[in-house]
A = this chain, B = another copy of it.
Amino acid sequence: MSIPAFDKQDLSQFDEPAELLKALSHPIRLCIVRGLMRKKKCNVSYMQECLDIPQSTISQHLQKLRGAGVVTTERKGLEVNYILADQRVEAIVKALFGEEECEA
């Protein structure tokens, strides 16, 4: 009587992790997230400048990341800084891109 490898009874336990992965599964968002691993803290304008993508597009991606709990925000005056907020995400990014020194 061992636990089956698959089990429809707890399919719902995969909902949240799948949501997390979905939030990460877009090139722009993945780029943002890896950028935040390198840079710790980053405002929208900086990302926009680097990525050269319309502001509303970036902002929408950021809201999706925030909605999934991937990032949190810290306002500083006019700017809003984004910060990684989920350790699982860091492990996933490392799995995908390798370990890496982060700059202060």
Task: Tell me the A residues contacting B by CB distance below 8 Å.
Answer: 2, 4-8, 11-12, 14-15, 17-22, 24-32, 34-36, 38-39, 42, 46-47, 50-53, 88, 91-92, 94-97, 103
Contacts and interface: CB of A to CB of B under 8 A. Distances in A.
A60 to B, nearest CB: 16
Contacts of A38: 5
A14 B30 CA distance: 7
Q: How many copies of the chain does the oligomer comprise?
A: 2
Contacts of A91: 91-92, 94-95
Given A91-B91, A95-B88, A11 B25 contact: no
Contacts of A51: 6-8, 11
15 contacts: A4-B50, A5-B35, A6-B46, A6-B51, A8-B51, A11-B51, A18-B27, A20-B96, A21-B21, A21-B25, A21-B96, A22-B25, A22-B26, A88-B95, A95-B95
